[in-house]
Amino acid sequence: MRPFLFIFSIIVVMTSAVYAQSSKTNKSDSPPLTLSVKIDRQSYRLSDRIRVETQVLNTGKSEIYIWKWDLCWNFARGLSMHVADANGSPVQGDVLLDCIPPPPKEGDIYAFVRLEPGQFYGIVDQIKVTDIVNKPGELKITVTYSGSLSSKIVQELLKHDPIAKLPLWTAEQGAIEAPPVYITVQP
């Protein structure tokens, strides 16, 4: 009887270890997003506009949905731009980039964008240099992307919509950051 219990114990331990490992793998396989930012050139004058191309790419293995309003410039959620000088000190412009999206509406099937693995969604903006910087210099631009909607808000406002049951990128996933972009601004 003892050999049977010993073998049974080993099987239970091995099964538990395999299950724990597969649970970890499934959690780490959640569909990640990456963010990229491109600008049209490296040098600008204070009177210029910067052409900023921003893309969110699904690099995961399954589909994910993003709210289209998350791709508007805001200082806290959605797309956030932070500009620093060569010393790392924050630099401010004349305008606070503060897009305030409307709350999502039930039945608006076009408010969310489905991203299959390998697909991206993006925007192109023309931003006045003086909107983001108030003086010349060597600058580092960092852009982050985060969901504006929480899972709770989605469940409350869109509980009857299919989107409430789909893999939606929400505020709980946190922010993702694009590689920084460096520019020179001249008077």
What does the pLDDT look like over 139-169, one tens digit per residue?
999 999 999 999 999 999 999 999 999 999 9
Q: What was the pLDDT predicted at 28? A: 53
The rounded mean pLDDT for the chain is: 86
Q: What was the pLDDT predicted at 109? A: 80
pLDDT beyond 50 at 13: no
Q: Can you give the pTM of this predicted structure?
A: 0.80
**Residue 139 has which token pair?**
């600058």
Q: What was the pLDDT predicted at 135? A: 92
Q: What was the pLDDT predicted at 75? A: 87
pLDDT beyond 50 at 76: yes
pLDDT beyond 60 at 20: no
